[in-house]
Amino acid sequence: MNAGDLGATRPRTILGIDTGGTFTDVTVLDIRTGRLWTAKTSTTPADPSLGFINGVRDGLAAAAAQPGNVGRVLHGTTVATNMILEGKGAAAGLITTLGFRHVLEIGRQDIPRRANMFAWVKPRRPVTPDRIFEVAGRLGPDGSEVEPLDEAAVRAAARTLRAAGVQAVAICFLHSYANAAHEQRAAALVREEHPDALVSISSEVLAVFREYERSMATILNVYVMPVISAYVGRLEERLREAEVAAPLLLMKSSGGVAGTSTVRRAPVETALSGPAAGAVGMAFVGAAAGYGDLIGVDIGGTSADISLIKDGKPSVTVNGRVGEWPLPLPMVDIVTIGAGGGSIARVGRSGALTVGPQSAGANPGPCCYGRGGSEPTVTDAHLVLGHLPPWLLDGSFRLDLEAAERAVATKVAEPLGLDLMAAARGILAIADSHMVGAIRVVSVERGRDPRDFVLVPFGGAGPLHGGALARLLDIRTQLIAPSPGVLSALGLLVSDLKADFARTCLQQHGHFDVAQMAATFTGLQAEAERWFETESVPAAARKTMWSASLRYEHQGFELTVDWPGTEVNDAAAAEVLRRFHELHRTLYTFAQEDTPVEIVTLRVSASGALPQPQLSELAPGGDPRDAIVARQSINLESGIVEAPVYARARLGAGVRIAGPAIMTQLDATTLLLPRQTAEVHPTGSLIVRED
């Protein structure tokens, strides 16, 4: 199902379903009133579509909405991500240009940033050399044919793959970004010889230079294609069974959504689906409260995803990675670390305390969940210190304090010779330190001072850490979203359709061929227009943005800047050069304006605007003491303090709460430290400031 006919009806509700490792989060919006409902249901790893449809039903029940009144269903998923990270994709083969059989094995000479250069071992590639087939045929950098394609060799490779039972085939030829003819012909030949094969060609996945990255992107695309295609089919079937006839749209790594036909063709574009939705949701609630410069920390059960919003827009990169592999498709610039509520604390043989990246996950989960867990986690440490009341999910899920204390005492405190509370504080200090390091990657290392931004901690565990992270980074203001635990699901509701098109068009030494660039942009714009038609985007909702990737001569990387308007002439090229120098100075503190500049890749980003919801405003609040549901002791480094526990849903606009305090709700718990004050914004967000 495509995204068409979005403006043809007047539906009442839209649903956002974000599938995480532990919980599936649901947000339901009443389009007419702006009222939001949230729900959480357990993720079903064996069949994520089951947790998805359970979430749909729970969300509709919470909103008392009818399936027939749903206007659209938006979904963020980690299925592709997990397949790539766990190496569980389809058995795949690669057909490539003669002489390039070992391009994957060679890869790049660098090693992962955090790896030990003496101990790191190159990971096993998703396609081994025995499933890589070379064929003769060569194109030049300008797309001209140097040698015709050896069609017999392509047919032979397809027959060999068919005999081996390999049904996922990637095709990546040298310089196919300049001319797709050889790849298109090879794909047709493979389908003739191997009709059951799923085929992916690099000129459709990533029409840019650099053979290793382009080959890897094409392979990863077909690597996840069989499972994603089947998964999307199950989602559509379950929606039909639930009598929901609305279009299904899936979140892409770039922060936009696409219809199922697009996702089936390019499933690798969903690799960072969930985290991208979180960044979009963060930008939305930030703008509603009047903030455009934000740093988000999405802390779930297993990981923390950090992203940056500047001037209301998520930072986007074309130098992303998924696990061990480069994936240079446009994606929200997100740094992910293994630090979440379920991260396990252990004392190693050397006597050092580590936290994560191993996680207790959904099963058995933290010890305090009472599901058989025996390893202490970050959540257990919070409970031991009194940061959490003895329940979650608005009181419907009781926590086992004794189990948490026992695990922290026996596994951390006793081996280190610490008392229980010091051990718990140590667990949190290490977790916070990991997150601070990741925040500096997306801020300081990108030329941004985190003190100039508002911190937005979200995810189920985010608001527990926000106060400490803000102090460590000297950030004076935090924003806690109305429903921080399901903010990614809200991000789905406010996303637009989006697609990106790129083509390498190397312009060297500052002698730019304006006519060639104009022709390239015209071709990319035509691709965008065809995509608009495929997704049935109304003319009034269509928008395209042009950009270019540039570098100094002899550099090995590029920076992407916006192209001024949609005219290609000498004045526009000069403005692009000025923007490139300015960006280079921002990121690296200098610019080499006397060095020749190369324009390497041209890009067109297409978006289709979907109807945007509006958050309903809260009624003015009364006496905050009426929202107190309990009191409990919080163990701080300075000593034990008594703190009120507030039901956040009872706090109206304008109410101010002074820390220390705890605020509970269905999807998250917020910890307010001493000398911090929270004010309820009319849109429902908490604005937390240091006194």
> With bands split at pLDDT 50, 70 and 90, how would you rate the model's confidence at 240?
very high
Provide mean pLDDT across the span 218-222.
95
Asked if residues 662 and 35 have their Cβ atoms less than 8 Å apart, the reply is no
Scan for tokens 């995509």, then name that residue.
531
Other C-beta atoms lying within 10 Å of the C-beta of residue 135 = 22
What whole-number distance in Å separates Cα of residue 567 and Cα of residue 587? 27
Residue 525 has pLDDT above 60, yes or no: yes
Q: What is the pLDDT of residue 114?
A: 67
Q: No. of H helices and E strands in the chain?
A: 17, 37
Same fold, 13-83+230-270 and 275-339+432-493: yes
CB atoms within 10 A of CB 138: 17
Q: Measured between alpha carbons, how far is 647 from 140 in angstroms, rounded to an integer?
A: 66
Annotate 316-356 with DSSP letters as a single string.
EESS-EETTEE--S-EE-EEEES-STTEEEEE-TTS-EEEE
User: Which residues are CB-neighbours of 363 under 8 A, at least 6 positions away?
Assistant: 371
CATH code: domain 497-608 is 3.30.1490
Judged against a pLDDT cut of 80, whether residue 22 lies above it is answered with no
CATH number (1.10.10.10, 3.30.420.40, 3.40.50.10860, 3.40.50.2300) of 275-339+432-493 reads 3.30.420.40
Residues in Cβ contact with 351 at an 8 Å cutoff, skipping those fewer than 6 apart:
415, 416
DSSP element (H, E) containing 234: helix 211-241
pLDDT tens across 371-385, in order? Answer: 888 999 999 999 999
DSSP 568-635: -SHHHHHHHHHHHHHHHHHHHS---TTS-EEEEEEEEEEEEPPPPP-PPPPPBP--GGGGEEEEEEEE
Cα separation, 639 vs 442, in Å, equals 34
180 neighbors 201 (Cβ within 8 angstroms): yes
Is residue 251 within 8 Å of 215, Cβ to Cβ?
no
Q: Give the pairing type, strands 168-172 and 92-97.
A: parallel
Please tell me the distance from the alpha carbon of residue 357 to that of residue 430, in angstroms, as a whole number. Answer: 12
**446-473 tens-digit pLDDT:** 889 999 999 999 998 999 999 999 999 9
- Across all residues in the chain, what is the average pLDDT? 91
Q: What letter represents residue 565's amino acid?
A: G
Whether pLDDT at 3 is above 60: no
Is the predicted pLDDT of residue 4 greater than 60, yes or no?
no
- Average pLDDT on 124-141 reads 94
Say what the pLDDT of residue 44 is. Answer: 84
Looking at per-residue pLDDT, the higher value among 28 and 115 belongs to 28
Rounded to the nearest 5 degrees, what angle is found at the Cα of 287, between the Cα atoms of 284 and 293? Answer: 105
For the chain, what percent of residues have pLDDT higher than 70? 98
In the chain, domain spans: 13-83+230-270, 89-228, 275-339+432-493, 343-430, 497-608
| Centroid of chain to Cα 34 | 26
User: Quick one: pLDDT band at residue 9, thresholds 50, 70, 90?
Assistant: very low
Structural fold of domain 13-83+230-270:
Nucleotidyltransferase; domain 5 (3.30.420)
Q: Give 78 or 412, the one with higher predicted confidence.
A: 412
Contact criterion met (CB below 8 Å) for 610 and 603: no
What is the radius of gyration, based on Cα positions, of the chain? 26
In whole angstroms, what is the distance from residue 677 CA to residue 665 CA? 18
- Model pLDDT for residues 494-515, shown as the tens digit of each residue: 999 999 999 999 887 667 899 9
Q: What is the mean pLDDT of residues 622-627?
A: 90
DSSP state of 377: B
pLDDT at 509: 67
Residues β-bridged to residue 628: 646
pLDDT at 419: 94
Is the pLDDT at 8 greater than 50, yes or no? no
